[in-house]
Structure 1
């Protein structure tokens, strides 16, 4: 096997969270008197945490309202985090294959930590070993801190740990952590953005990714 451990991004990689994110974004915008956003618009905003999401969603003159939108978003999302969210096809089976092979698996996400844990436990249970979400002492990706925390806990080195994600932020995160990166093409980020970020390994299905890891 190529690796002893795999760190996954969550949104757009393991789970399709877009519909629930859009609902929470539009709730927050409505609370602050702004118009609604489409799925494609919300897709283009996500990946760098809630604060950056609303910096992208709001017009320039409304930037002072970002904090209020973030608070409204988190309040709504915390109770509507798992309404429409589902695993991508083949993801549970991929995690089962990795578990059976003795490979450590975890999630490093820019989603706030409580939501990461709730979603991972609801959809994957014991198929994931550990989680690192956004928190007070956890810088957001592309900072490598979350990945390093997981590797330290597992006792795995950089050469034996793979990072897998769907976005340019994930490519940068892997680079900053000194890890090989597997870029999945079923998620939120267009392939052109992955290419521009320097992605070199692309996977169109969870099964293909599992085959690569286990080869």
Structure 2
């Protein structure tokens, strides 16, 4: 078996967290008499971390460092309490994780979501599946910087070439390429096939069960 480990993105790959994210930012915007956004619009803000999402959600005239920080902290306060209200695993993900585990494939999560929230969601929805659950600890290590992915590979004791990197965005595909992992783009997430291919996807899957074929 060529691949011995799978590194998953979280949002748009393992879980659909759109409604909880959108509800939290919209609550903060509404409380400050600012325009709110539809789920469809917020969907396009996801992928580069919540600080970037807050920046994009604010009116352009509000996008200075002080406002961004204040609204980011307000959103984090709300989201921290509500990040598992409407968030759910995509169809086929629990079955995929169970099958991977049964074959002794090592599993990890790497997200641009804050580390504490990544761990809360990962451990709430997927207890006992992942060796490592890691979110964003510093803006300097944000994906597509491969440093965290490489750290995970070292901690699990495999070379990057022995990893499938599974994600739903161009940023994930860039991260996989930068880390020298096999980039697998998923079509059930937040970004289109065209973006995944343009940013370096080496494989494309439309259902979680299709990942198993890539292991052999």
Q: Deviations over 1:30-52 (max 9, x none)?
A: 23331110111111001001111
Give the TM-score, by structure 2 length: 0.95
Q: Tell me, yes or no, if structure 1 residue 102 matches structure 2 residue 104.
A: yes
Aligned to 1:23: 23
Match of 1:13, SS state, is coil
Give the TM-score, by structure 1 length: 0.95
Query: Which one of the candidate residues 204, 207, 210 is aligned to 1:208?
Result: 210
Q: Deviations over 1:40-81 (max 9, x none)?
A: 111100100111112222232210221111111100000001
Match of 2:111, SS state, is strand
Whole-Å separation in 2 of the counterparts to 1:152 and 1:138: 19
Long gaps (5+) in structure 2: none
Whole-Å separation in 2 of the counterparts to 1:57 and 1:210: 37
Aligned to 1:150: 152
Long gaps (5+) in structure 1: none
Aligned to 1:173: 175
Greater mean alpha carbon deviation, residues 74-83 or residues 187-196 = 187-196
Q: Deviations over 1:111-144 (max 9, x none)?
A: 1111111111111111111111011486111111
Aligned pairs for 1:41-52 (under 5 A) are 41-52=41-52
Whole-Å separation in 2 of the counterparts to 1:212 and 1:86: 25
Whole-Å separation in 2 of the counterparts to 1:140 and 1:198: 18
Shift of 1:195: 2.4
Whole-Å separation in 2 of the counterparts to 1:66 and 1:170: 25
Q: Is the 8 A contact 1:27 1:72 kept in 2?
A: no
The runs of 4+ residues in structure 1 deviating greater than 3 Å are: none
